[in-house]
Amino acid sequence: GVIGTNQIDSSVRYGHLNGIRALQRVQGTHRWTVSFDDILRADVLLLVGTNVTETNPITGLKIKEAVKRKGAKLITIEALQPAIGTISNIANLAHYHFGVRADGFQEAVFGLMKSVLETRGMDEEVKASATAYGNDLLSQLS
């Protein structure tokens, strides 16, 4: 028999259920809102707290293709440091890698958002249509 042995695996050990709950809460759906084609068309990819090549190998391959063949810039915010080894580490491909503590992802993302807002990195058309939102967000990040 296989029940009670190590012959059955699932993504639960990667915290997949927590990810589903987070997507449901934030986006109202448990599914991705981007496609593999979106990844391949991206100019910049930001990965936060994921070793996607291990936890989702197909997505990892698409990210590698976007970076290596399509010229996308890759930014990683990750507790893992770039390392060459037998396990693929997506941070090795990053143009910009920000190493943070395992519990520091929220602060890193807030800092990035604050920097974008303070340095006028927000698209002018979006900024014009959402001025109050941008100002409110900046005040909450300060």
Q: What does the DSSP assignment read for 47-68?
A: EES--HHHH-HHHHHHHHHHHH
Torsion, Cα of 49, 53, 56, 62 (10° steps): 110
- What's the pLDDT at 10? 55
- What's the pLDDT at 1? 55
* Rounded Cα distance, 28 and 35, in Å: 17
- What's the pLDDT at 2? 56
Maximum C-alpha span of the chain:
63
Domain architecture of the chain: domains with CATH:
1-33 (no CATH), 35-103 (3.40.228.10), 104-142 (no CATH)
Residue with tokens 């890759």: 74
* Rounded Cα distance, 2 and 80, in Å: 33
- What's the pLDDT at 11? 56
- What's the pLDDT at 5? 59
**Residue ranges for the chain with pLDDT beneath 50:** none
